[in-house]
Chains A and B, each alone.
Chain A
């Protein structure tokens, strides 16, 4: 790995290239408490020491590591009054929610409570900046404790060293929040880098749904290096939805760790519509018996967009289930990369694990590389995995044409249907409707 740094040709992050991120300088720098700043300092050192990913790294297989150049980016600047109001206006999602948070360039622009559900019974819903200051115990216990083990250690270290804000949601034991919580993360300005973090801690038998929206407020390239910690306690249920609509010049990383305890259930669905290069790493730890994790993703790409997804389903306890379904529709010269692993540890008997990736190639130039995998050390398990790539079925198309639907609409309808099968797995009709609307808008 260290060879990368020594090689002058490699896209290493030299001190000169990264000084824009140096955390101790700059008049706008925030002031987290000392305990956290020490962590950030250590993370920064780790970031500067770790090499940039190399083409030869197994975890970056198929990826174009040249796309990872961070040198054009700098910490996002505070926005002016007009920009802030414009972003608040644009932050529209579901008709009914229990609350909304809006961030622009990692600064909190608004936090609204709709109804009393989030203020009742000890729910803590805070901007992370505030949680770091007031909830040290929880932050120390859960904030990025699982590690970025799918290749993005360097970007995880960058995130940790730079994180300023995001959403912190702590739901106490037995509390159920019926309506989703929404959080908008905007990036604005050429070369702006944001580091959004989402942390959800659902204590035993609680229930909550969180929707994150990621977007660019401008057409210039930006960088987002984000991370999630989703901690699902015994018998709790967490539904997490991310709608990623950065502009197609932007670079986006997301490292997601989900920890599922006994009889708990996590369901995550990511809709990837934007980004020039999007790298997503999703790890589900099935840590308690009876736990279940559903990992869903929809990507609709065009132009030269690249969506690069790496996943890990770790079954650490018996009687656990995980079900991954990723679907990509690839137009023009866009690409989808997937490597995934189901790992069943020695004691995790009666594991039920699925992994399915399906690519719909809409042109001859679109490309999909998928490498599903299994690593099983327990007995009596049921695991299946598979990846398929194909084109729009001629007979399906002819059927739609024979009803008078014009070719372009018919193709869109088939693509939409293909992707929509994933939203059907989400047990929330309002969110499904929102995802379908965004998909329709992207497919034209």
Chain B
């Protein structure tokens, strides 16, 4: 059981610029994969393409969720099939309370005609919020509106905890977090680690990986995975930067 990305090519729909150029990656259940890479390597594009954002077009390749191709699915179907995307920049939805938003997402997973039980829902919501040290006032506040950067990221993790996806893709979840918030968010993610769930952690900095320790680290350069290693690779990248990988690619190309 895995989320399998095969030879994925994707471009920006409006300009035609190709961003992902034959990306291969398999995230097994129970594993945490990290993707690191320099700016512009396609990290955020990958998360948006996996989520089905209309700004991008897939021109080649497959994404199989436990064997089922998700590329033909609408964004909401992908979510219900078990893919979760934690946004780098979570959107504000004015006038819609956080509690009603998460409730609508859970309601969408129930069979037609079945209503979410309110008491159980709030009990679970409060339990997860306590885990993330989120004040109860965030249930009534509009989704992400006026939240600080750290509060928005906690709110992403809260949604993940509530929706219990099969595969979670965390896009730069560490950006904008101070060290305390980083620990809290990481605890939330670690609490979700299980043999039934796979993670793809996209990050620019090694710091996050001290708290969410990955099983595998990949380096994304120019829209392709160019290097794969264990968790120590993250430290190596932190120390040496990305240039040595770029040099390797150049050397391989000229050889």
Which residues from chain A sit less than 8 Å from chain B, CB to CB? 393-396, 398-407, 409-410, 413-414, 416-421, 424
Interface of A is mostly: helix
Flag B47-76 by CB within 8 Å of A: 1 or 0 each. Answer: 000011110000000000000000000111
Q: What is the chain A residue whose CB lies nearest that of B87?
A: A399
Give the chain B neighbours of A409 by CB distance below 8 A.
104, 108
Chain B stretch 91-126: residues in CB contact (< 8 A) with chain A:
91-96, 100-102, 104-105, 108-109
Residue with the highest number of chain B CB atoms closer than 10 Å, among A401, A402, A417? A402
Give the chain A neighbours of B108 by CB distance below 8 A.
403-406, 409
Give the chain B neighbours of A395 by CB distance below 8 A.
91
Give the chain B neighbours of A419 by CB distance below 8 A.
95
Interface of B is mostly: mixed
Asked if B44 CB lies within 8 Å of chain A CBs, one says: no
Chain A nearest CB: distance from B73 CB in Å?
Answer: 11
Give the chain B neighbours of A416 by CB distance below 8 A.
95-96
Query: Beyond A403-B163, A404-B108, A406-B76, is A424–B95 a contact (Cβ under 8 Å)?
Result: yes
Query: Is there an interface contact between B104 and A405, defined as CB atoms closer than 8 Å?
Result: yes
Residue from B74, B80, B96, B101 in contact with A420 in the complex, judged by beta carbons closer than 8 Å: B96
Chain B nearest CB: distance from A404 CB in Å?
Answer: 4
Give the chain B neighbours of A407 by CB distance below 8 A.
74, 76
Q: What is the chain A residue whose CB lies nearest that of B53?
A: A398
Asked if B186 CB lies within 8 Å of chain A CBs, one says: no
Give the chain B neighbours of A417 by CB distance below 8 A.
93-96, 142-143
A393 to B93: give the CA distance in the assembly, Å: 10
Which residues from chain B sit less than 8 Å from chain A, CB to CB? 51-54, 74-76, 78-80, 85, 87, 90-96, 100-102, 104-105, 108-109, 142-143, 159, 163
Query: Is there an interface contact between B104 and A402, defined as CB atoms closer than 8 Å?
Result: no
Give the chain B neighbours of A401 by CB distance below 8 A.
52, 74-76, 79
A318 to B230: give the CA distance in the assembly, Å: 72
Q: What is the chain B residue whose CB lies nearest that of A407?
A: B76
A380 to B51: give the CA distance in the assembly, Å: 52
Give the chain B neighbours of A398 by CB distance below 8 A.
51, 53-54, 75, 91
Residue from B80, B87, B90, B92 in contact with A404 in the complex, judged by beta carbons closer than 8 Å: B80
In addition to A395-B91, A402-B79, A413-B100, 19 A-B residue pairs with Cβ atoms within 8 Å of each other are: A394-B54, A396-B92, A398-B53, A398-B54, A401-B75, A402-B76, A402-B87, A403-B105, A403-B108, A404-B76, A404-B80, A404-B105, A404-B163, A405-B108, A413-B104, A417-B94, A420-B95, A421-B94, A424-B95
Residue with the highest number of chain A CB atoms closer than 10 Å, among B85, B90, B94, B102? B94
Give the chain A neighbours of B80 by CB distance below 8 A.
404
Query: Beyond A404-B76, A407-B74, A416-B96, is A399–B104 a contact (Cβ under 8 Å)?
Result: no
Give the chain B neighbours of A402 by CB distance below 8 A.
51-52, 75-76, 78-79, 85, 87
Chain B nearest CB: distance from A65 CB in Å?
Answer: 35
Query: Is there an interface contact between B93 and A405, defined as CB atoms closer than 8 Å?
Result: no
Query: Is there an interface contact between A405 and B105, defined as CB atoms closer than 8 Å?
Result: yes
Give the chain B neighbours of A420 by CB distance below 8 A.
95-96
Chain B nearest CB: distance from A408 CB in Å?
Answer: 10
Query: Is there an interface contact between A403 and B79, defined as CB atoms closer than 8 Å?
Result: yes
A400 to B87: give the CA distance in the assembly, Å: 12
A413 to B87: give the CA distance in the assembly, Å: 19
A398 to B78: give the CA distance in the assembly, Å: 12
A396 to B92: give the CA distance in the assembly, Å: 7
Give the chain B neighbours of A414 by CB distance below 8 A.
93, 96
25 A-B residue pairs with CB within 8 Å: A393-B91, A398-B53, A398-B54, A399-B91, A401-B52, A401-B75, A401-B79, A402-B79, A402-B87, A403-B105, A404-B79, A404-B108, A405-B76, A407-B74, A407-B76, A409-B104, A413-B93, A413-B101, A414-B93, A416-B95, A417-B94, A418-B94, A420-B95, A420-B96, A421-B95
Give the chain A neighbours of B53 by CB distance below 8 A.
398
A398 to B76: give the CA distance in the assembly, Å: 9
Chain A nearest CB: distance from B91 CB in Å?
Answer: 4
A410 to B142: give the CA distance in the assembly, Å: 15
A410 to B79: give the CA distance in the assembly, Å: 13
Give the chain A neighbours of B74 by CB distance below 8 A.
401, 407
Query: Is there an interface contact between B76 and A410, defined as CB atoms closer than 8 Å?
Result: yes
Q: What is the chain B residue whose CB lies nearest that of A413?
A: B96
Query: Beyond A402-B79, A409-B104, is A396–B91 a contact (Cβ under 8 Å)?
Result: yes
Give the chain B neighbours of A406 by CB distance below 8 A.
76, 108
Q: What is the chain B residue whose CB lies nearest that of A410?
A: B76
Give the chain A neighbours of B52 by CB distance below 8 A.
401-402
A401 to B74: give the CA distance in the assembly, Å: 8
Query: Is there an interface contact between A399 and B95, defined as CB atoms closer than 8 Å?
Result: no
Give the chain A neighbours of B100 by CB distance below 8 A.
413
A398 to B53: give the CA distance in the assembly, Å: 7
Chain B nearest CB: distance from A350 CB in Å?
Answer: 29
A399 to B93: give the CA distance in the assembly, Å: 9
